[in-house]
Amino acid sequence: EVQLQESGPSLVKPSQTLSLTCSVTGDSITSGYWNWIRKFPGNKLEYMGYISYSGSTYYNPSLKSRISITRDTSKNQYYLQLNSVTTEDTATYYCAREHSHWGQGTSVTVSS
Amino acid sequence: QIVLTQSPAIMSASPGEKVTITCSASSSVSYMHWFQQKPGTSPKLWIYSTSNLASGVPARFSGSGSGTSYSLTISRMEAEDAATYYCQQRSSYPPTFGAGTKLELK
């Protein structure tokens, strides 16, 4: 069965770049759609974007100027970069295959 | 983007009680999906495409609706059903989620 695991720093300073990795086992990222979703402290869920089997991407317009999703097929990993973070980007970040398989999530706090 | 409004925000139910959670969309959507989340865990896809139960979901759960009005129903509440439930639409991008319904055991 497909398994996803997020990793990255738990603390990021304001104005810096948030960078996360999603490591995938049990499936190839060259098939399907691979998403990033985040959950804010107030429990609101926000869809951030995806990278597809072909490498095409979609970003939530609310983030479009700050977000980048890339991949390394040789490592079967995909990545999230979010630029110019503020305290409002404090959240738990999830990677998910389609919407049926999710990682356990990684908590990121933006604070100086 | 499509806004999903869930109600109630919080509710409690006794074992054996029927539970209904509703999700209203700001525009018509083709399908609604539902997730269950318990503290410390990631959301689990619970009901997909309005009425299909995900693998392992008990048959006491059901989903229905169309257009702008959808619901998740538990025929008889059990302790393990206490969780937060979120509706989600993917008919129009970006996908959006409801604010969640926290279901507690009375």
For residue range B63-100, what is the model confidence (pLDDT) as tens digits?
999 999 999 999 999 999 999 999 999 999 999 999 99
Contact check, Cβ <8 Å, B90/A99 = yes
Contacts of A102 in chain B (CB under 8 A): 42-44
Q: Are strands A101-102 and A91-97 parallel, antiparallel or unpaired?
A: antiparallel
Residue A73 has what pLDDT?
97
Looking at chain B, the whole-number percentage of residues with pLDDT higher than 90 is: 100
Residue in the block written with tokens 């993917």: B90
Q: What is the pLDDT of residues B17-64, one digit of tens each?
A: 999 999 999 999 999 999 999 999 999 999 999 999 999 999 999 999
Strands (DSSP E) found in chain B: 4-7, 10-13, 19-25, 33-37, 44-48, 52-53, 61-66, 69-74, 83-89, 96-97, 101-105
Q: Are strands B101-105 and B19-25 parallel, antiparallel or unpaired?
A: unpaired
Reported as a pLDDT band with limits 50, 70 and 90, residue A42 is: confident
Q: What is the pLDDT of residues A45-76, one digit of tens each?
A: 999 999 999 999 999 999 978 999 999 999 99
Contact check, Cβ <8 Å, B96/A100 = no
Residue B28 has what pLDDT?
97
Phi, psi torsion values for A6, nearest 5 degrees: -85, 150
Q: What is the pLDDT of residues A11-28, one digit of tens each?
A: 999 999 999 999 999 999
State how far the Cα of A32 lies from the Cα of B9, in Å rounded to an integer: 33
Q: Are strands B83-89 and B4-7 parallel, antiparallel or unpaired?
A: unpaired
Among chain A residues, the shortest Cα distance to B97 is held by A45
Contacts of B23 in chain A (CB under 8 A): none
State how far the Cα of A23 lies from the Cα of A15, in Å rounded to an integer: 26
